[in-house]
Every structure is written in C-alpha cells, then in structure tokens.
Amino acid sequence: MAQRTALITGITGQDGGYLAQLLHARGYRVIGVSRRTTANARDSLPAGVADIELVSADLLDQASLCSIVDQVQPDEVYNLAAQTFVPASWKQPLLTAEVTALGLARLLEAVRLLCPAARVFQASSSEMFGLATNSPQDEETPFHPRSPYGTSKLYAHWLATNYRESYGLFVASGIMFNHESPRRGAEFVTRKITRAVARIAHGLESTLVLGNLEARRDWGYAPDFTVAMHAMLQTQEPHDLVIATGASHSVREFCETAFSIAGLDWRRHVTVDPALFRPAEVESLVGDASKAAKLLGWRPTLTFEELVHEMVQADLQSLSATLGIRSGQVARLLPAQP
C-alpha cells in the first residue's frame, strides 16, 4: 500500500506533537504546518519526530494554505491550530475568531478546491457546550458557548458540518474535552499546578495563585485523544464524536491530588485571586463518549490519578535535572504511584 500523507496544523502544540509521533510510527509521511512567526518550530517537536517535514503556512493566509494543500495532496488533514487559551479570547476576540473560526473556513476552501478527496479532522471543543443544559454532555447536547473562544469553535464546528453536507467532503469533528500531559502549555490550569508543585517541593517558591477552584472539568490524557483523532478518519462515513473520559473533577481536587503526590498539603500553598476569574465561567463539563466507544472502540487509558501522577512526576524530574539533583532524591519527593 502506498505511503499515506498527513498534514497537521498546530504541529508545535501538545496534540500536534503526539499526533505526529503516532502517525510517524504508523508509517505516514507527516507534514507539519508552522507559522513563519514561530521562531523555533522544529525545537518544539518531540524527539522521534524532530525530523518530520515542516512547511510554512498560516490559517490567516488563504494563499499559503492553498499552496501547501495543492503541493502536498494530503490523504488526511488534521486541523489542530487555534488560539486555544480561553482567557486570551476576551482580550483578543477578533484574532481568536480569525484563527479559530475563519482559519477552518480557509483550510476547508483549500481542500474543497485543490484536494477534495482528503479526509479532514476538526478539533472541536467541549467549550462549545459552555452553560450546558444536561450532564454528561453528548453529541445531542445543545451548545451554549461562554467565551469568544467557545463561540469561534462553534462556528468552525458548524462549518465542518456544512462542508460535509454541501460538498460531500469527509470532515469529522472530535468534540474534545480537556486533555492534558506533561507537554501541556504552562498557562493551562493543570500544568500551572504541576509545575508549581515541583517548584514548591524543591523549595523554589511557596505559593500558587489560582482562580476559580470550584470549576469542574473532564480531564483526559492527550495521547489517548490523538488515537481518537486518527481513528475518526478511518471510519466509512464521517462522524462528530465526543471524546472524553466520563469523570469530572474540580480544580480543587486537582490541587489536592497533585500536592499530595509530592507529599505536600495544598491548603498551605494555594491562594485564590478573583482577578483570575473569567467574565463568564464554564462551571462544569463532563462528557459521555459512548458513541466513540461504539464506533471506534476508543477508551481512555489513564485514570485521573494516573494522569496527575504522570504530570507531577515529569515536572519534578525535569526541574531536578535543571537543578542537577540526583534521581534518588527525586524518588523521595515522589511517593509510589496511586
């Protein structure tokens, strides 16, 4: 069988790296799209895919997308690029919409005109549910986004549906609930917590300032989610599917678990700053991924506790390496896995 080609936007992000590794291991020719403004795109790639092909294009620039799609003629396109940080979307609502909403319009136009047989994965978000009317959320739950980010994702989600229905393109949207890993960006709450745990455990700081501790999320493991992305492009017909673990925990619970893994009491270190509260909060999200389980055989592989443990352990070890501390001392900082 001829080698298949995958084009990934958002290659420098958490999911882009894991997906590139997965597709590379499965024999794909993987081409990552990076913006010319990304100074060190290759440096952001994980070991193992550091030598994948990188091309320069931008979701803000129609001509660059057309040129890449025409040149590469991908079998599969994964649209993972977006302005993904929810608080930034109130500060830059237009940029968020340009990249996150209209960016998909530009990409789909390029595919429609120049490579219509390509299969497209769109990273939709649980933020589209926002003020959800029912729990857990599934593919039938009405949308009520609570931020310019969620609103932009919803435009893209419906546009993907529209291109499927209007032009017969194979476009599948994964409604992705929160997914984390040691490669999660430091601005997101999980990694903010695990990095702070490592710094506090090493005595480099003593306080972690957070916003709303009562918000609840369905936190899964990012590599599992990239397995689902790939599987969604291998089905006979395209589907929109919720990808989630089905378990919900509060930010407070995440703190409690993360600090206790390092033998610390979170109440001695965490303070709340109302300035970090959002203008409109998504209080609680939890997904029902039974349709994905049925159609793809997809299931999460890590529990919440295992995920938190992996993230804390990675941050402790990376900080120890930076500080030149031997592994025996790290083991004492890190009790056995739950």
For the question of residue 149 being annotated catalytic, the response is yes
266 binds ligand G4F (CB under 6 A): no
For ligand G4F, the closer CB: 196 or 233:
196
Q: Is 28 a catalytic residue?
A: no
Is residue 253 involved in binding ligand G4F (CB under 6 A)?
A: no
Q: How far is the CB of 250 from ligand G4F (least distance, A)?
A: 9
Query: What's the closest the beta carbon of residue 210 comes to ligand G4F, in angstroms?
Result: 4
Rounded to an integer, what distance in angstroms lies between the CA atom of residue 244 and that of residue 299?
9
Alpha-carbon distance of 150 to 159, in angstroms, equals 14
User: Is 188 a binder of ligand G4F (CB under 6 A)?
Assistant: yes
Q: Minimum CB separation from ligand G4F for residue 155, in Å?
A: 14
Among 77, 107, 176, 197, binds ligand G4F (CB under 6 A): 176
Residues 6+ apart with CB under 8 A from 298: 224, 227, 228, 231, 243, 289, 292
In whole angstroms, the minimum distance from the beta carbon of 112 to ligand G4F comes to: 25
d(CA 95, CA 89): 8
For residue 77, CA distances in Å to 69, 107, 158 come to: 9, 9, 18
Q: What is the DSSP letter of 278?
A: -
**Which residues from 269-288 bind ligand G4F, rule CB under 6 A?**
276, 278, 281-282
Phi, psi of 209 (to 5 degrees): -100, 120
From 44, 89, 124, 125, the catalytic residue: 125
Binding region for ligand G4F (CB under 6 A) out of 34-42, 71-79, 170-178, 317-325: 170-178
Residue among 152, 156, 151, 130 nearest 141 (CA): 130
Binding residues for ligand G4F restricted to 70-89, rule: CB under 6 A:
84, 86
Q: Which of 22, 210, 227, 308 binds ligand G4F (CB under 6 A)?
A: 210
* 169 part of the interface to ligand G4F, by CB under 6 A: no
Q: Which of 190, 199, 251 is nearest to 221 (CA)?
A: 190
Cis peptide before 335 (omega within 30 of 0): no
Given the complex with ligand G4F, which of 74 and 136 has the nearer CB atom? 136
User: Catalytic residue at 167?
Assistant: no
In this chain, which of 9, 34, 126, 173 binds ligand G4F, going by CB under 6 A? 126
* Residues 7, 76: Cα–Cα separation, whole Å: 6
Minimal CA–CA distance to 296: which of 174, 180, 136, 163? Answer: 174
Binding of residue 173 to ligand G4F (CB under 6 A):
no
Q: Does 289 sit near ligand G4F (CB under 6 A)?
A: no
Active site residues: 125, 127, 149
Interface contacts to ligand G4F, rule CB under 6 A: 84, 86, 125-127, 176-178, 187-190, 192, 210-212, 215, 217, 251, 276, 278, 281-282
